[in-house]
Amino acid sequence: MNERRRPSRPGKARPPRRKSSPPRPVDADPVRLVAVETLRAVRERDAYANLALPPLLKQRRISGRDAALATELTYGACRAQGLLDAVIDDCSNRPLSEMDPKLLDALRIGVYQLLRTRIPAHAAVASTVDIVRFESGSKLAGFANAVLRSATELDEQGWIEKLAPARSEDPIGHLAMRHAHPRWIAQAFADAVGLDELDAALAADDARPAVHLTARPGEISADELAAITGGDPAPYSPYGVRLEAGAGDPGDLEPVREGFASVQDEGSQLVALALTRPELTGPDLRWLDLCAGPGGKANLLGALITMDGGTLDAVEQAPHRAELIRQATEGLSVNVHVGDGRDPGLEPGYDRVLVDAPCTGLGALRRRPEARWRRQPSDVGDLTKLQRELLLSAIGLTRPGGVVAYVVCSPHLPETEGVVSDAIRRTGVTQLDARPYFPDVPDLGDGPSVQLWPHRHGTDAMFCALLQIPA
């Protein structure tokens, strides 16, 4: 946390009234400038920060510690946007909605440095003001300077105390602001995990996640992969390796480039493995992945069924994502089909079917810095309709005695328990207690479904329900 050391401010920052001083040559710090430009790409083009930033860094030849700082500022400011905006709003006499968006991007990077880094306040203010002057001229630079100087008056804790509702009166609103989450998402987490754990759940969701790898079964063991990459064997998945957060681009690792390993959250590995574990009577060589792009789980399931001499059919609606599945499953007994999982035109009678349905992704917000502010509650209705239809289709494609895993990367109850109870009511399938199929994983709750959590398991918040078709 920063040491704060600023004289009191005269009041809210106003745009300057006097004529601005003659422009001086400006040197905008290239590291902070790419952070501001990436926020702009996220805002204007709906870009993903983690896709927009790396090419900019490359283009500007920013590497090493500078690249690490640009990444921290960009992703951090994306994550903390709601908190940063509340502070900026309090420090300015202009409503945010009337503020020049380019100026707001720069102010977010500036206030992020003040609240959540150890960068000295004078450096954070001066470098941000330089960027505003460079991009927008002296007038707005003066305004930015006044806003930022006001923002230096309190540290993060002080701002939260000033701006968040009291925890005793509105715990969800308080924790939402403390951990920079939209209120509706904090509410969704509270509904799923309970108020007692909400603080820990949101805190873990606000932290930078470790990268996990999957060692492709039959090619390399997790121990070998850990030794090569300098990571640690994962605690729960027999195929998992955990790397340190910020350990560089995992795509550059040789085993990943060679196809022996892939980047995949340990929770994703565990839910895919849970599908393979219930004992079946009868044949067990036809598996189906109904929403397979870009192919992470198809790679793991495909490797396992290939070793057993069976086949995985992988369905994906988007052609470019189907191509990614082909690349991810090269060399495996996997047939990729472009089609709609609700009516894929495949012969029914599968032994095991995975429905890893499109969802809000509220369980993987850590990995998509801007996602929590982009997602809207209005997205949920259309998604749950599609999820229900996909699960009913999966049940129809599974043979009597076969098993379906319904999986989403979200803890939001309408997408999890709501979809599963609808399918049980309509079809009479049996829900299995999924917990025994997550061996050695602690804190799995009351079942029968499993909800993983970053703060409990160090994984994304994956949900898994196992359904068996009556024999």
Ligand X SMILES: C[S@@+](CC[C@H](N)C(=O)[O-])C[C@H]1O[C@@H](n2cnc3c(N)ncnc32)[C@H](O)[C@@H]1O
Question: Where along the sequence are the contacts to ligand X (CB under 6 A)?
Answer: 268, 291-297, 315-318, 321, 340-342, 356, 358
382 labelled ligand-binding: no
- Tell me: is residue 191 an annotated ligand-binding position: no
- Copy the structure tokens of residue 326: 């082909």
Choose, from 78, 91, 359, 409, the residue flagged as catalytic. 409
Shortest spacing between CB 287 and ligand X, in angstroms: 13
Interior angle at CA 13, CA 7 and CA 14, nearest 5: 145
- The reply, when asked if residue 292 is annotated as ligand binding, is yes
Angle at alpha carbon of residue 167, lines to 161 and 169, rounded to 5°: 120
CA 230, 235, 237, 243 dihedral sign is negative
Per the annotation, does 102 bind a ligand? no
Residue 342 token pair = 């609700």
Which CB sits closer to ligand X, 38 or 237? 237
Coil/strand/helix, residue 162: helix
Q: Per the annotation, does 296 bind a ligand?
A: yes
Say if CB 262 and CB 216 are below 8 A apart: yes
Residue 86 token pair: 């509340």
Q: How far is the CB of 93 from ligand X (least distance, A)?
A: 44
115 or 315: whose CB is closer to ligand X?
315
Return the SS3 of 355.
strand
Strand partners, 316: 338
- Name the minimum Å distance from CB 368 to ligand X: 13
Alpha carbons 132 and 139: distance in angstroms, whole number = 9
Is 72 labelled a binding residue? no
**Beta bridge partners of residue 313, listed in sequence order:** 288, 335
Task: Pick the closer one to ligand X by CB: 142 or 344.
Answer: 344
**409 among known catalytic residues:** yes
Nearest distance from C-beta of residue 387 to ligand X, angstroms = 10
User: Taking the complex as a whole, how short is the minimal distance between the CB of residue 296 and ligand X, in angstroms?
Assistant: 3
State the DSSP string of 46-110.
---HHHHHHHHHHHTT--HHHHHHHHHHHHHHHHTHHHHHHHHHHHBSS-GGGS-HHHHHHHHHH
If the CB atoms of residues 133 and 216 are measured against ligand X, the closer one turns out to be 216
Which of 206/265 has CB closer to ligand X?
Answer: 265
Residues contributing to the annotated binding site: 291-297, 316, 340, 356
Q: Known catalytic residues?
A: 409
Residues contributing to the annotated binding site for S-adenosyl-L-methionine: 291-297, 316, 340, 356
